[in-house]
């Protein structure tokens, strides 16, 4: 499943193998395989890949809230606490909004391994902007 009206092919989302299983303006769930392409040199899930997954989840959810107004949602700030290492399998990110305003949204994202153990917790602030003009 991909975000409505959004082609995610040839993006970081597709490169990392992220897939979405639930998407709404109130909850987004996505999975990412943990394999060599998302490993750091020590063979464990790269923290940057977790952050990319978290921001992707938050961005899709916020976009779904503002698309009817013709607006976009883009990452403004993100933080993450990496709590447990993962070497293989699949991680699942679940994002829910903390705040939904006219010009910003704040989302909380939890990333868990296949056993349901917390791998990473993140908070992402998104700016709500008009689409860029061509040129």
- Within 8 A by CB and 6+ apart from 23, the residues are 1, 3, 4, 29, 60, 61, 64
Q: 67-118: per-residue pLDDT in tens?
A: 999 999 999 999 999 999 999 999 999 999 999 999 999 999 999 999 999 9
Percent of the chain at pLDDT exceeding 70: 94
> Which residues are identified as catalytic?
55
Characterize 66-95 residue by residue with b for buried, 16 or more Cβ atoms within 10 angstroms of its Cβ, and e for exposed: bbeeebbbebeebebebeeebeeeebbbbb
pLDDT value at residue 9: 87
pLDDT value at residue 7: 80
Q: How far apart are CA 129 and CA 82, in angstroms?
A: 29
Evaluate if residue 1 carries a pLDDT over 90. no
pLDDT value at residue 61: 98
Q: How confident is the model at residue 135 (pLDDT cuts 50, 70, 90)?
A: low
pLDDT value at residue 133: 84
Q: Mean per-residue pLDDT for 7-12?
A: 88
Q: How far apart are CA 72 and CA 131, in angstroms?
A: 6
Q: How far apart are CA 12 and CA 10, in angstroms?
A: 7
Q: Mean per-residue pLDDT for 7-17?
A: 92
pLDDT value at residue 90: 98
**Cross-sheet strand order for the sheet of 28-34:** 19-23, 28-34, 89-100, 104-112, 118-129, 72-82
pLDDT value at residue 14: 95
């Amino acid at each position: 499943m991909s975000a409505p009206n959004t082609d995610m092919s040839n993006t970081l989302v597709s490169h990392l193998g992220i897939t979405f299983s639930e998407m709404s303006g109130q909850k987004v769930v996505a999975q990412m395989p943990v394999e060599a392409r998302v490993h750091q040199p020590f063979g464990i899930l790269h923290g940057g890949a977790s952050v990319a997954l978290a921001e992707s989840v938050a961005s899709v959810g916020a976009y779904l809230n503002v698309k009817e107004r013709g607006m976009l949602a883009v990452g403004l700030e993100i933080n993450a606490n990496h709590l447990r290492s993962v070497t293989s399998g699949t991680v699942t990110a679940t994002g829910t909004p903390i705040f939904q305003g006219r010009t910003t949204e704040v989302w909380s994202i939890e990333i868990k391994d296949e056993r349901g153990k917390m791998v990473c917790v993140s908070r992402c602030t998104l700016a709500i902007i008009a689409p860029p003009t061509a040129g």
